[in-house]
Amino acid sequence: MKEKILLKAQLPKLIEELRKIYRVLAPVKDNGFYVYKAISSADEVDLDFANTKIPPKEIFFPRSEVLFTYKRTDNGIELIEPENSVEKQVILGIRGCDAQSFLLLDKFFAYGKFDDPYFAQRRKNTLLIGLACNDPRSTCFCTSVGGSPFSEAGMDIILTDLGDKYLVKSLNVKGNELLERIPWIEDANERDIFDAMQLTKKALAAIKEELPIEKLNNTFAEVFDEDAFWLQFSQKCIGCGSCSFLCPTCHCFDVVDEESSTGGKRIRLWDTCQFPLFTLHGSGHNPRPTGRQRLRQRVMHKFNYYPKILSEIGCVGCGRCILACSVNQDIRVVFKAVQES
Amino acid sequence: MENLETSMRDIVKNLLNEQKVDLVIGYQKGTMPLRTTPCFVTKAEDSNKLVWNFCCDLNLIKYLLKDENKGKKVGLIVKGCDARALAVCISESQIEREKVIIIGMPCLGMLDRKKIEAEVAPKEILEARVTQDQIITKGKDFEHTLLKKDYIQPSCQACHYNNPPICNILVGNQPLELESAVDWDAKLAEFEAKPPEERWAYFTELLSGCIKCYACRNACPLCYCKECFVDQTQPQWVGKTTDIADVMFYHIVRALHVAGRCVGCGACTRACPMNIDLRLLSKKLEKIVKERYNFEAGLKTDEPPPMGTHTANDPQEFITEPE
């Protein structure tokens, strides 16, 4: 399908059209930062953002989610499926790094014998309208992990901000179908397409970080046992879960049962390998008793185990962990140290 | 501040050269503007890595409590609030006084980085310079000059301890004159005057963003329990979800655990990735403890906090006569 042009003045009109068919999630400024929220009016949307603080993983993988409830009855236990009927939804303004994170999460939630139905259902019903990154932050390193500020991977439509308008490009059949429903949207001209290309080049040039992550795969394995190496980073870590909770690809969870005399529910919650409790065994033994082992786990999981098992780097280079860390633990410094070791 | 930085480095160098300490924990330049990161110095020649500026906001007491530093003789760079947190830890037998050389820094308050960043967001600060009374931030296509006094952290604005109440060495040898502080009593009085539903609504709204990453607990120098109540599973005291009831329960219990111990250093607020500021709650507790027990946390190393002791003379009318 030919590229289209959406004037910024037409954005509210587009959003209202979308809202007729979909639940629309978009970046909203809240308490000083941006989050993806289901919106009830186009006024709430603010596409003039770098990226959201909370990664959009929570749209598919909520912080806490009831998997099922159960009741004690005279005939035994009755299981009740949650009412997780997911309406059709669209995420507007997803960045390339985050769209890539969904592709990684897809692999995880469908890994092995079972395809996680809760996650899969939401993913299936969601259309992604991306927004290319004209202005990557200094903490962005997507190009070092196989991404790009203009990455289209995982999206159905991508918008490129051309100042007073967006270049709208459909990337697949789902995107085409959506754009066909919007008859008033006009075709782009050659100049618009040229301008978008120029912006791509500029954005790529703006990313200064070139971290040799793919080449480091084996080096990570070599430093695995070097306690002193990991200690230089873990010594400043306070062991909170900010980096994992705000990471778009961290997906580890805890499952708890909340029970009363009449029944209960099983809940899935975000968890993190940075907490000692994460690996504590029932016996009292903890295979990762120290901070350096926990920090190593997070790094190795993304940059060594993921490449080994799924042939992908488990990081999309969004830099959220760098921004979130209160003690300024910077994953880029870890890469450089691995490189130098 | 540069003078203080130079003196601090010299003191650290000497301490390490004379083998009076095994390790010094201070601050070094961070990887982003307006940030510092903890610095662990074991060799005298590395003392020059240490910095002292308006971004040295972390409370480093937490690091004394970490396993890898147990038993070591540590030199620690502290501000007034940090020294008070350290005093509480010492009074509660968590840190041995003689194992620490307290290198005290006179402090006029640290910058509120999040507030400065919010000022230019979604643009990004790529460079920042702090002068006597200004903060000059630069980004890709902007330059902003801000008045420093408007961007001091709220916890610092309320601080009366610009000089560490306990220390071995006061860097600069010049205690600072106290600056006028924010009137928390007035703020609290205004809040207390509200009906209970409104107060509850305030905290509910405030905490609705909590993602339970426990950064507040982990950054707090006084949350040193080997096993936090939220991590206990037999019995499980608190629900683990981010439903407001579970979130509220966690924060209320934590507040009670630090009542009469919290020194208001603001580490919890700074560490929160969701910008949640629970100071109203901690200040209220501070006020109650002051009124009931005439006690202010962190001023002495040999006085246990009121909630950790019992005497026959303890005020107790509030137990049977609720307000």
Which chain A residues contact residue B214 at CB under 8 A? 240-241, 275
Q: B230 with B218, same domain?
A: yes
pLDDT digits (tens, 9 = 90+) for A156-192: 999 999 999 999 999 999 999 999 999 999 999 999 9
Of B151, B176, B205, which marks where a domain is finished?
Answer: B151
Half-sphere exposure of A211 (CA within 13 A, CB side): 29
- Rounded to a whole number of angstroms, the distance from the CA of B26 to the nearest CA of chain A is 11
The verdict on B224 and B289 lying in the same domain is yes
ipTM for the predicted complex comes to 0.92
Q: Does A138 reach chain B within 8 Å, measured CB to CB?
A: yes
Q: How many domains does chain B have?
A: 2
B21 and B125, same domain (yes or no):
no
Which pLDDT belongs to residue B57?
95
B chain contacts of residue A245, beta-carbon cutoff 8 Å: 211, 213, 273
> Chain B neighbours among A 48-87 (CB < 8 Å)?
48-50, 53-54, 63-64
pLDDT at A103 over 90: yes
What pLDDT score does A31 carry? 79
pLDDT bracket for residue A303 (50, 70, 90): very high
Contacts for B291 with CB less than 8 Å, ≥ 6 apart: none
| B6 in the same domain as B132 | no
Residue B266 and residue B208 in one domain:
yes
Pair B123, B142: CB distance under 8 Å: yes
Tell if the CB–CB gap between B124 and A246 is shorter than 8 Å: no
Q: Where are the alpha helices (DSSP H) in B18-95?
A: 61-64, 80-91
CB contact under 8 A, A240 and B124: no
Asked if the C-beta of A135 comes within 8 angstroms of chain B's C-beta atoms, the answer is yes
Q: Do B270 and B129 lie in a common domain?
A: no
Sort strands A253-260 and A23-30 into parallel, antiparallel or unpaired: unpaired
What tokens does B319 get?
Answer: 């137990």
Q: Please indicate, yes or no, whether residues B147 and B287 belong to a single structural domain of this protein.
A: no
- Residues A206 and A136 sit within 8 Å (Cβ to Cβ): yes
Decide if A235 and B30 are in contact by the 8 Å CB cutoff: no
Q: pLDDT tens-digit profile of B10-69?
A: 999 999 999 999 999 999 999 999 999 999 999 999 999 999 999 999 999 999 999 999
CB pairs under 8 A between A and B: 115
**Closest among A161, A128, A131, A111 to A18, alpha carbons compared:** A128
Which residues 157-196 of A have a C-beta within 8 angstroms of B? none
Q: Coil, strand, or helix at residue B128?
A: strand
B64 and B118, same structural domain?
Answer: no
Asked if B119 and B205 sit in the same domain, the reply is no
| Cα dist from A284 to A276, A277, B191, B218, B233, whole Å | 11, 10, 45, 22, 12
Kindly report the nearest CA distance between residue B232 and chain A, in angstroms. Answer: 9
Q: Are B102 and B76 in contact (CB under 8 A)?
A: yes
A253–B contact, CB cutoff 8 A: no
pLDDT at A109: 94
pLDDT at A321: 97
Q: How confident is the model at residue A112 (pLDDT cuts 50, 70, 90)?
A: confident
Pick from B43, B117, B231, B240 the residue to mutate for testing the A interface (most A CBs within 10 Å): B240
Q: Is A255 on the interface with B (CB under 8 A)?
A: no
For chain B, residues with pLDDT lower than 70 are: 178-181, 318-323
Q: pLDDT of A35-77, one tens digit each?
A: 999 999 999 999 999 999 999 999 999 999 999 999 999 999 9
Interface check A33 vs B, CB under 8 A: yes
Q: Which of A231, A258, A272 sits opposite B239 (nearest CB)?
A: A258
Does residue B237 sit in the same domain as residue B292?
yes
Residues on chain A touching B38 (C-beta within 8 angstroms) = 235-236, 327
- What pTM, to 2 d.p., does this model score? 0.94
**Phi, psi (rounded to 5 degrees) for A112:** 80, -150
Its domain, for residue B118, covers: 113-151
First-to-final CA distance of chain B? 48
Question: Which chain B residues are Cβ-neighbours of A47 within 8 angstroms?
Answer: none
Which sign does the torsion angle of CA A323, A329, A331, A336 carry? Answer: positive
Q: Does B267 lie in the same domain as B205?
A: yes
Long-range CB pairs of B94-101 (<8 Å, 24+ gap) are B94/B65, B94/B224, B95/B61, B95/B64, B95/B65, B97/B301, B99/B71, B99/B72, B99/B73, B99/B74, B100/B64, B100/B73, B100/B74, B100/B75, B100/B76, B101/B15, B101/B20, B101/B21, B101/B73, B101/B74, B101/B75, B101/B76, B101/B168, B101/B169
Q: Which residue has the tokens 């185990």?
A: A305
> Other C-beta atoms within 10 Å of B262: how many?
27
Distances in Å between the Cα of B226 and the Cα atoms of A253, B122, B215, B256 are 23, 40, 16, 18
Contact criterion met (CB < 8 Å) for B273 and A246: yes
Token pair of B92, please? 């509660």
pLDDT of residue A104: 96
- B/e letters for A148-179, b = 16+ CB within 10 Å, e = fewer, are bbbbbbbbbbbbbbbeebbbbbbbeeebeebb
How close does chain B come to A231, measured CA to CA in Å?
A: 9
Q: Does A7 touch chain B (CB under 8 A)?
A: no
Query: Strands, DSSP E only, in chain B?
Result: 23-29, 36-41, 74-78, 100-104, 127-130, 134-138, 143-147, 169-170
